[in-house]
Structure formats: C-alpha cells, structure tokens
Amino acid sequence: MPRQRVLSGMRPTGALHLGHYHGALKNWVRLQSSYDCFFFVADWHALTTHYQHREGLEQSVYDMVVDWLAAGVDPEQATLFIQSRMPEHAELFTLLAMSTPSSWLERMPSYKDMVAENRELATYGFLGYPLLQAADILIYKAGFVPVGEDQAPHVEVTREVARRFNHLYAPLLPEPQALLTETSRLPGLDGRKMSKTYGNAIAMRDAPEVVADKVRRMPTDPQRVRRQDPGDPTQCPVWALHQVYADSDTRAWIDAGCRSAGIGCLDCKQPLIDAIQREQAPWRERADELLADPKKVHWIVEVGTERARAVARKTLKEVRVAMGLAY
C-alpha cells in the first residue's frame, strides 16, 4: 500500500536556528519514515514580502538545505526541491485563480494585519499568497500538511479551493488534512520568540564557544540582583529553554536551587549550554561534510526537483483536461 503524501515548505532565510529545528525540522525527520514526504524551499513565497531584497537569495536557499540535511532530513526518504524551479506551480496557481473568489484571499487575517502595518505589501503577489500555497499543496495531491494550530486556517483555504475546483470541473484534487503536530515554539535568548529579526537566536551551526557566550549573556530573573538573592525560575528566560533541553531531575535541581539561592545564574545556565552543544555536534559534523562538497547539495536538490516535476506534470495534465485546455 503506497504511503500517504505529506507536503511542507520553508521560506529561505539562510542558516537556520534552534527554533526552526524544534518548530519544524524535528517533525520532518520523524515524518519521513512514515509518509511520502515532499519538502520544498518556498523562495517565491519569500518574494511576496521581500520582493525588494533579492540579494543573497541563492546563498540563503542552499544554506537552509544544508541545515535540513544536517538535521537528518534524508533525500533517500523525502523529496527535496526548490519552488521556483517548478513553473508547474505557477501554472496551477494561474488556473486556480480563474475560479477562486478574491474575497477568500482578502479575508485572511494575516493579509489585512500586515498590509495595515506596511502598505508596500498591498501587492497582487502578497494577496495571492494563500492561493499559491494551495497550488503548492494540490499539485502533489498531498493528503496531509503538518502545521501548528495557528496555521490550520491556511490549510482550510486550500481545502475550499480544491472543493470548488472539484465541483466546477472534475473530482481531481483531494482536500488535504491539517496534520496537527506537537511543535515546540522555542523562546529566544530574551524570552521572546526566537527570531533572526529580534537578534535573539542560536543558530543550528553556531560554534560551541558562541553558544556558551550567548547563553551566559542571557538576562535572568530581575529579582536576583546579588548571588544570595532567591529567584523565581518562571520569571527567567533561561527556565523556558530548560523546558526543552533539561530532564525532570535537572529541572527540579534548578528550581530548588534558584528559589533558595543555592545556585547562581551561571550554575543554572551550564546544563543548558551542555545540552545545546550535544545536540548541535552531529549537525555541525554533517554540515561540514556537505559544505566541503557543494556539488553534492546541488545534486540532491536537482534529483528531488526532477522527482517532484514528474508528479506535478501529471496533476497539471489532468487539470488542463478538466478545464478544457487539452489542445
């Protein structure tokens, strides 16, 4: 029995940080052994919001792919490809646009909120983002799209687009299901969401000494002005990272030591530094091998792109026939 297909993508932001790993990549690695996984670099999607910033885009694409591979995404189990190398996505996007009501796109909360903040985003490309996303999914007839709960509405738009197409033309496009996954929203060094924009990230391939320096500089509970002052771990950004990286015994030791002032903040941070460095060691080793042979990375993407193209062309041919364009 063929495995059900999963599709997911990431915008090319360059080298990834720990938030990307715990929020998505860790889940991709788990899914690839159970599903027919298609993972793609969403470089067209990046241009919907950063159309004026094309410098370094190619470097960002391949830096990100290296991190995927370093994290354990296996090109023998999953299909990896680049969106912009697949004009079939753009064609399906155009064909779906013929019957998709514009009101479906205008009602997206993310569109309205972001345009209200930045009028330069009032473009056709950004308005059409959810429809391009639908084309990305439907062209592979993906059964599942792994998302957190906050992203489920995007999958619902894709389901509506598929339902309308199937009603108007032919029952060709399966409605994908949101594969609600347990995602860890990793906090950054300052307690906010980890993000390059905030400057509070630890990169997946940061050197051990860089990791140690970043963690040691993290702010802590403001009540602990002096070493002997007791603190409250729940008021400390370091504690939030311990929820991901520390076992129950370590957390109990930190909690008791902080509240009693039995340990200092640097004592609290050391187990976190050690855990992150242990996690990163195999990533850096695999990444070093890939960076020493960039042609291998390009070849992996090339093979995956052609594998994806074979699937996409078959779907597109069926869509053309259904819409009366088989001439």
Question: Is 100 part of any known ligand binding site?
Answer: no
Question: Is 148 part of any known ligand binding site?
Answer: yes
Question: Is 9 part of any known ligand binding site?
Answer: no
Question: Is the CB of residue 61 less than 8 Å from the CB of residue 82?
Answer: yes
Spatial neighbors of 156 by CB under 8 A, at least 6 apart, are: 178
Question: Is 14 part of any known ligand binding site?
Answer: no
The pair of structure tokens assigned to 133 is 């996303």
Spatial neighbors of 295 by CB under 8 A, at least 6 apart, are: none
Question: Is 175 part of any known ligand binding site?
Answer: no
Question: Is the CB of residue 24 less than 8 Å from the CB of residue 39?
Answer: no
The position carrying tokens 């802590």 is 220
Question: Is 224 part of any known ligand binding site?
Answer: no
Chain centre distance of CA 54: 20
Question: Is 150 part of any known ligand binding site?
Answer: yes
Residue 143 DSSP one-character state: S
Spatial neighbors of 215 by CB under 8 A, at least 6 apart, are: 189, 202, 238, 269, 272, 273, 276
Q: How far is CA 186 from CA 131, 192, 194, 195, 259, in A?
A: 29, 9, 6, 10, 24
Classify burial at 155, counting beta carbons within 10 Å of its beta carbon; exposed 0-12, middle 13-18, buried 19 or more: buried
Question: Is the CB of residue 165 less than 8 Å from the CB of residue 173?
Answer: yes
Question: Is 13 part of any known ligand binding site?
Answer: yes
Question: Is the CB of residue 229 less than 8 Å from the CB of residue 223?
Answer: yes
Task: Tell me the binding residues.
Answer: 11-13, 19-20, 136, 148-150, 186
Q: Write out the binding residues for ATP.
A: 11-13, 19-20, 148-150, 186
* Residues of each annotated binding site for L-tryptophan: 136
